[in-house]
Amino acid sequence: MADSQNPQLLPQRWVIILLAGVVAGALILIMAGLLPGLSAAGATVLALHQLMA
């Protein structure tokens, strides 16, 4: 159990999902702008979460 002195580490699955979301969002941000970049990041995180669940 996590407490304020010993927080739990983020599971490896979530690290992979969030990292993929950041990478996808950054690529689309460079090519298309802010709103499509945020949308791509969110869609990537949701899709990977569904696939890996």
How do residues 22-36 score in pLDDT, each as one tens digit?
Answer: 999 999 999 999 999
**DSSP three-state, residue 14:** helix
What pTM was computed for the model?
Answer: 0.79
Taking the C-alpha atoms of 2, 18, 26 and 35 in order, what is their torsion angle to the nearest 10 degrees?
-90
Taking residues 29-52, what's their average pLDDT?
95
CA distance 1 to 37: 36
